[in-house]
């Protein structure tokens, strides 16, 4: 599972719901989200400065297979995992 708290900037969050529907939301400072394990999702930073605190229920990223991709354009995301 994955939780997050947005403390700077704004993010565009896309996800596929349990019934297969596509969902798109814009989240900003103070917002939080939760995705259960295995839920397809992505996030994109929309501001020049975007900061998000990511919290996972399993910190063994190699075993679980988490992948972080940071774009090299002006919309950067600083990730912190615990």
**What tens digit of pLDDT does each residue of 11-57 get?**
999 999 888 899 999 999 999 999 988 888 999 999 999 999 988 88
User: Parallel, antiparallel, or unpaired for β 10-16 and 22-28?
Assistant: antiparallel
Is 60 exceeded by the pLDDT of residue 64? no
Can you give the pLDDT at residue 81?
44
Residue 19 neighbours by CB distance under 10 Å? 5
CB 38 within 8 A of CB 58: no
Tell me the whole-structure pTM to 2 decimals.
Answer: 0.69
CB 81 within 8 A of CB 61: yes
């Amino acid at each position: 599972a994955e939780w997050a708290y947005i403390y700077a900037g704004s993010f565009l969050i896309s996800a596929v719901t349990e019934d297969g529907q596509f969902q798109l939301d814009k989240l900003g400072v103070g917002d939080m989200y939760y995705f259960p394990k295995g839920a397809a999702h992505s996030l994109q930073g929309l501001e020049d400065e975007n900061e998000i605190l990511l919290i996972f229920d399993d910190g063994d990223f190699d075993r679980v297979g988490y992948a972080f991709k940071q774009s090299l354009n002006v919309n950067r995301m600083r990730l912190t995992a615990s």
